[in-house]
Structure 1
Amino acid sequence: MPILLALSIWTQPATAITEEQRVVVEAWRIVNRAYLDDTFNHQNWSAVRQQALKQPLDNPESAYTTVEKMLASLNEPFTRFLRPEQYRSLQVNTSGELTGVGLQIALNSKTGQLEVVAPIAGSPAEKAGIQSRDRILKIDGIPTTQLTLDEAAAKMRGPAGSKVLLIVERDGSPKEIQVARDRIAVNPVVAQLQTSPSGAEIGYIRLIQFNANATAEVAHAIANLEKQGADAYILDLRNNPGGLLQSGIEIARLWLDEGTIVYTVNRQGIQGNFEAFGSALTHDPLVVLVDRGTASASEILAGALQDNRRAKIVGEKTFGKGLIQSLFELSDGSGMAVTVAKYETPNHRDIHKQGIVPDLNVATDRLSRDQIATAADPQYLAAVELLDNTSTIAKSDK
């Protein structure tokens, strides 16, 4: 009998975990293992788990709400939960084509407000006059304080031709702006050869975002401009909100023979690094244009070129988004974007909330698309003057 009793106790099944509980536990474990801040915003993360599992979890929405509350306690806007449809949408956002208003957005970590990083060039939002650092207060009458970052983005997407009503605040003045959604084909590069007042041939390259096509397009632009006899280059990263980290690293390699491009630092303080190797496509003088809408991968590229003394930076201090997120898929098809590390420039400057400070600070008012890189563009003119003053602009090296 004792043996039978022991056998009965051993085979008694443990309490089954529900699918909703599984999602909550998976989310908790991912943060516990990978999140950048090992103090978890100065709270007992195990206690957060215990409290979460005390909640009634009887349907997927209850699990999702519980996970969102857990992540909200970290008080860090880039770590966020993604419902299945949001997770699928985020996975395709860098494919090169969007349907919506064409805004890159973020939550300001100090104010909690929804803020414009940059409008996509040629997008309905840019044509409507929306600018970097504008605050979006309402979307179709719904206060953005009631929306997550992904919910706000989803509300601005929609069929081409449909309209969305935004309440946008700039300098303390709210303004109602109606924007018609459209299909936005993102061609990441604009390139042309221009002649400076001194007669130098300047290759102008404007990079709009770091999508899957960006590296090949920039390389193609440099090769064509070299064939046309470019003496120097202007790389325009203004209102470039970033995109794929790998594209930023690869584009830095197009300009650098050697040197560190960026360091990544995780919560253990372990530094990863990405290096330049091989031969740059050109060694001609280079100026990089930046502004308040230059963010993330754009800041990595600008910082790499500045710290390696490959380029002078002209314009305004950049946005200051220097955190790295990784995507994690949960068992039910939902997902999470979790901040796992931060960027540092080759000289170990922390980009986050600091931005890249230009070598030459030049302010400008909002420009129309037709005014960019013309006599109406003071930042562009300053870059041209800087290149003209660079000793014989490397003509002797041609």
Structure 2
Amino acid sequence: MVITRSGLVLGATAVTLTTIAVTGLGIHSQGQALFKESPKELIDEVWQVINRQYVDGTFNKLDWPAVRREYLNKSYSDKQQAYKSIREMLKKLGDPYTRFMDPEEFKNLQVDTSGELTGIGIQIGLDEKTKKLTVIAPIEDTPAAKAGILAKDVITKINGKSTEGMDTNQAVSLIRGTAGTAVNLTILRNAQEKQFNITRAKIEIHPVEYSQKQTPAGNLGYIRLKQFSANAGKEMQQAITNLENKQVAGYVLDLRNNPGGLLFSSVEIARMWISNGTIVSTKGRLTNGRFAEEQREVANARALTNKPLVVLVDKGSASASEILSGALQDNKRAVIVGSQTFGKGLVQSVRPLDDGSGMAVTIAKYYTPNNRDINKHGIDPDVKVELTTAQREQLWLKQRDKIATLQDPQFAKAVEVIGKEIAQKGNSRAEKN
């Protein structure tokens, strides 16, 4: 597998409730005409994609050719019947993240290269353990974040409709809508239900914010990375370059509540911090009980700085955030501070189908440089600083001006840790002299 700049996303559970997209993949009008004549063509197209690409070569211990025969032997009078059969067929894989999207649902998953999104600004998925519809993370400064939605919130109702047994596509269909209209979410948090009435909006997201901070550890560069979008690498490069020109002594990279994004973006940004070593390996189809390594991404000796680095993570740090923090941790390039991350270690390919619908297919798992599989577990910080739900609500919802100050417990610990790192590096330099 070649990791490209489009079509591959991390955290296969994630669906962003905004307008996203897949580029570099064509939809063929000829196929649309063919579909009108035979819905079975689409069913077979989906079967073939799974047969070639799905990460589990045992297909959840199914006789996959027999599944094909079963669904092609049925009669279909319209495309809705075909869509229903496709969903049934994919459900047999036992993977809620390999999913089918009808044309309208697929439009909701289109890459918008301008960076302008329409929605409420959350990423959702089915929790792998509970199968409940769960918030992976709200995107900062979006309607969902401002309303008070938090990572790991369980969505129990959408506009009063229960989400029990609902897949992410169905949830997206209910939550999405025109800018200016509202959606009501019932959230379960710490065994208590809360109601959130959220107005949809057009959202322009700049993934990187940065500043200098005068701290007890000295003049530090603070960089907050909100998500791994197509332009995150460019903005990160600008942030590091500008802070280097200001002679900062070290960096705090904040990945808290970063739900992830594009695989290439995480690799691109890791190379700005790591001069040598592996960043991530992806391992595809399971054959004879073993994953074959398909791709290993390495540093390219072009790091922009070698100054001390501390990375902040929490339960809202998922997928691409975990690739970056795992690479920095395993290469001993940074100290990870905060709480255990979300635990998304899957890679999806999102592709269109011939009738304008689409599908997301789990094609690989990713592993950290030390060959750690973090799926369902996450990254364990080097220095654990847990916040209670009350503390998280206070910091992220009520007192956002305290984020990345000494009144932010995780940031305060990061400053303490990086102070020691800076002092140790200074002592090492003095000894060499």
2:194 corresponding residue in structure 1: 175
Q: Could you say what the CA RMSD is over the residues aligned between the two structures, in angstroms?
A: 1.9
With CA pairs under 8 Å and 6+ residues apart, which has the higher RCO, 1 or 2? Answer: 2
Query: Cα gap change, 1:94/1:322 in structure 2, threshold over 3 Å: closer, same or farther?
Result: farther
- Between the aligned partners of 1:336 and 1:361, the Cα distance in structure 2 is 38
Q: Which of 261, 280, 304 matches 1:262?
A: 280
**Which amino acid is the alignment partner of residue 357 of structure 2?**
S
Contact 1:231 1:393 in 2 (8 A): no
**Which amino acid is the alignment partner of residue 350 of structure 1?**
D
- Between the aligned partners of 1:154 and 1:92, the Cα distance in structure 2 is 17
Do residues 373 (structure 1) and 404 (structure 2) align?
yes
Q: Which of 45, 53, 56 matches 1:37?
A: 56
- Between the aligned partners of 1:393 and 1:289, the Cα distance in structure 2 is 20
- Between the aligned partners of 1:182 and 1:395, the Cα distance in structure 2 is 49
Contact 2:101 2:169 in 1 (8 A): yes
- Between the aligned partners of 2:179 and 2:44, the Cα distance in structure 1 is 39
- Between the aligned partners of 1:95 and 1:151, the Cα distance in structure 2 is 26
Shift of 1:19: 2.4
Do residues 53 (structure 1) and 76 (structure 2) align?
no
1:222 corresponding residue in structure 2: 240
**Which amino acid is the alignment partner of residue 387 of structure 1?**
I
**Structure 1 stretches of at least 4 aligned residues deviating more than 4 Å after TM superposition:** 393-398
**Which amino acid is the alignment partner of residue 342 of structure 2?**
F
- Between the aligned partners of 2:383 and 2:269, the Cα distance in structure 1 is 23
Cα deviation, 1:142-175, whole Å, max 9, x if unaligned, reads: 2223532123123222222211011110122222
- Between the aligned partners of 2:424 and 2:404, the Cα distance in structure 1 is 19
Cα deviation, 1:165-191, whole Å, max 9, x if unaligned, reads: 111101222222111112211110110
Larger radius of gyration: 1
Contact 1:232 1:393 in 2 (8 A): no
Report the secondary structure of 2:87's partner residue. Answer: helix
Alignment of 1:137-216 (within 5 A): 137-198=156-217, 200-216=218-234
Query: In terms of mean alpha carbon deviation, does 208-217 or 157-166 score higher?
Result: 157-166
- Between the aligned partners of 2:246 and 2:36, the Cα distance in structure 1 is 66
Query: What fraction of aligned residue pairs are identical, expressed as a percent?
Result: 49
Contact 2:128 2:376 in 1 (8 A): no
Shift of 1:55: 3.2
Query: Cα gap change, 1:95/1:261 in structure 2, threshold over 3 Å: closer, same or farther?
Result: farther
Cα deviation, 1:224-275, whole Å, max 9, x if unaligned, reads: 0011111100000000000111000000000011110000001142211001
Contact 2:308 2:422 in 1 (8 A): no
**Which amino acid is the alignment partner of residue 270 of structure 1?**
A
Query: Cα gap change, 1:160/1:88 in structure 2, threshold over 3 Å: closer, same or farther?
Result: closer
Cα deviation, 1:355-395, whole Å, max 9, x if unaligned, reads: 10000010122123322101221110000000111242646
- Between the aligned partners of 1:147 and 1:391, the Cα distance in structure 2 is 50
Query: Cα gap change, 1:154/1:393 in structure 2, threshold over 3 Å: closer, same or farther?
Result: farther
Q: Which of 377, 384, 387 matches 2:415?
A: 384
2:26 corresponding residue in structure 1: none
Contact 1:68 1:81 in 2 (8 A): yes
Cα deviation, 1:332-352, whole Å, max 9, x if unaligned, reads: 121110001100000000021
- Between the aligned partners of 2:97 and 2:112, the Cα distance in structure 1 is 16
Report the secondary structure of 1:174's partner residue. Answer: strand
Report the secondary structure of 1:303's partner residue. Answer: helix
**Which amino acid is the alignment partner of residue 65 of structure 2?**
S
2:356 corresponding residue in structure 1: 333
Contact 1:101 1:123 in 2 (8 A): yes
Contact 1:76 1:109 in 2 (8 A): no
**Aligned residues between the structures:** 382
- Between the aligned partners of 2:36 and 2:45, the Cα distance in structure 1 is 12
- Between the aligned partners of 1:127 and 1:95, the Cα distance in structure 2 is 23
- Between the aligned partners of 2:184 and 2:424, the Cα distance in structure 1 is 49
Contact 2:345 2:373 in 1 (8 A): yes
Unaligned runs of 5+ in 2: 1-34
Contact 2:225 2:253 in 1 (8 A): yes
Q: Which of 323, 328, 349 matches 2:346?
A: 323
- Between the aligned partners of 1:123 and 1:171, the Cα distance in structure 2 is 23
Query: Cα gap change, 1:39/1:121 in structure 2, threshold over 3 Å: closer, same or farther?
Result: same
2:255 corresponding residue in structure 1: 237
1:132 corresponding residue in structure 2: 151
Shift of 1:17: 10
Do residues 312 (structure 1) and 335 (structure 2) align?
yes
Query: In terms of mean alpha carbon deviation, does 151-160 or 61-70 score higher?
Result: 151-160
Shift of 1:221: 0.3
- Between the aligned partners of 2:264 and 2:123, the Cα distance in structure 1 is 19
1:119 corresponding residue in structure 2: 138
Do residues 22 (structure 1) and 45 (structure 2) align?
no
Query: Cα gap change, 1:37/1:350 in structure 2, threshold over 3 Å: closer, same or farther?
Result: same
- Could you tell me the TM-score, scaled by structure 1's length? 0.92
1:4 corresponding residue in structure 2: none
- Between the aligned partners of 1:48 and 1:146, the Cα distance in structure 2 is 23
- Between the aligned partners of 1:32 and 1:137, the Cα distance in structure 2 is 34
- Between the aligned partners of 2:66 and 2:270, the Cα distance in structure 1 is 44
Shift of 1:89: 2.8
- Between the aligned partners of 2:94 and 2:223, the Cα distance in structure 1 is 38
Contact 1:104 1:116 in 2 (8 A): yes
2:370 corresponding residue in structure 1: 347
